[in-house]
């Protein structure tokens, strides 16, 4: 009951706060049990006070690895055309959605100042692998999906470029160790945890 009251209080304060916060970030995610790939993130929320913001965030990691075989190269209509076959494709993505607190630490007379960020939420990871039988024009696909609790903790720096805008450089640890029950009283797990290295832009309005 106390947790529910606390969440409602924070949400109410956030909804009626004067200043809003929005940021968009792009970078690299290095998960422990997946392939390193690009990650895109959006944060939106409100300032509780001058230096503390309550925000909701969504991050999307995506990686595709294709195994292609190039067969021929020929000139056609004055340009070089390559012909090949796709043998297989691996695709993985991870989507954590979180509620976070961001605490800023302004430095006097400096355009650069640090911040800390952390929160909890829910995440989904899906991995698929598809092989192609080009002789019979068929394909075979297999996939796995895991979901569960996630938490994030990290920090970064703001570089002020305008009255209400900043460049953002951020490092965040994303904890996402998922487990699910299988048949015959067994279980399987997938550790999607990793570190995000990102840069972007932040607005207060």
Q: Helices (H) and strands (E) in the chain — how many of each?
A: 1, 10
For residue 37, what pLDDT is reported? 95
Q: What distance lies between CA 49 and its chain's CA centroid?
A: 27
Is residue 125 within 8 Å of residue 153, measured between CB atoms? no
Query: What does the alpha-carbon distance between residue 127 and residue 29 come to, in Å, rounded to a whole number?
Result: 15
Residues near 137 by beta carbon (within 8 Å), at least 6 away in sequence: none
For residue 5, what pLDDT is reported? 54
We report the CATH number of the domain holding residue 121 as 2.40.160.20
CA–CA distances in Å: residue 36 to residues 18, 30, 87: 39, 5, 21
For residue 137, what pLDDT is reported? 60
Q: Three-class SS of residue 6? A: helix
Query: What does the alpha-carbon distance between residue 98 and residue 119 come to, in Å, rounded to a whole number?
Result: 6
For residue 85, what pLDDT is reported? 77
For residue 52, what pLDDT is reported? 93
Is residue 150 within 8 Å of residue 174, measured between CB atoms? yes
State the pTM of this model.
0.80
Counting the structural domains of the chain, the total is 1
Range of the domain at 93: 2-204
Pick out the chain residues at pLDDT < 70: 1-18, 134-139
- Cross-strand bridge partners of residue 92: 63, 127
């Amino acid at each position: 009951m106390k947790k529910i009251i606390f969440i409602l209080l924070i949400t109410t304060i956030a909804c009626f706060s004067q200043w809003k916060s929005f940021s968009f970030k792009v970078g690299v995610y290095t998960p422990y049990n997946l392939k390193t790939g690009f990650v895109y993130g959006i944060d939106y929320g409100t300032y509780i006070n001058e230096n503390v913001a309550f925000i909701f965030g969504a991050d999307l990691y995506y990686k595709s690895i294709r195994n292609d075989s190039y067969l021929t190269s020929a000139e056609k209509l004055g340009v070089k055309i390559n012909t090949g076959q796709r043998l297989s494709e691996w695709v993985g993505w991870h989507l954590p959605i979180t509620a976070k607190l961001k605490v800023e630490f302004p430095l006097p007379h400096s355009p650069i100042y640090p911040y800390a960020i952390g929160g909890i939420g829910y995440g989904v990871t899906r991995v698929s692998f598809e092989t192609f039988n080009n002789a019979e024009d068929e394909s075979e696909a297999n996939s796995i999906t895991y979901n569960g609790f996630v938490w994030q903790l990290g920090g970064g720096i703001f570089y002020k470029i305008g009255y209400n805008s900043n460049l953002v450089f951020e490092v965040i640890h994303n904890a996402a160790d998922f487990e699910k029950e299988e048949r015959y009283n067994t279980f399987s797990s997938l550790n999607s945890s990793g570190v995000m290295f990102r840069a972007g832009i932040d607005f207060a309005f």
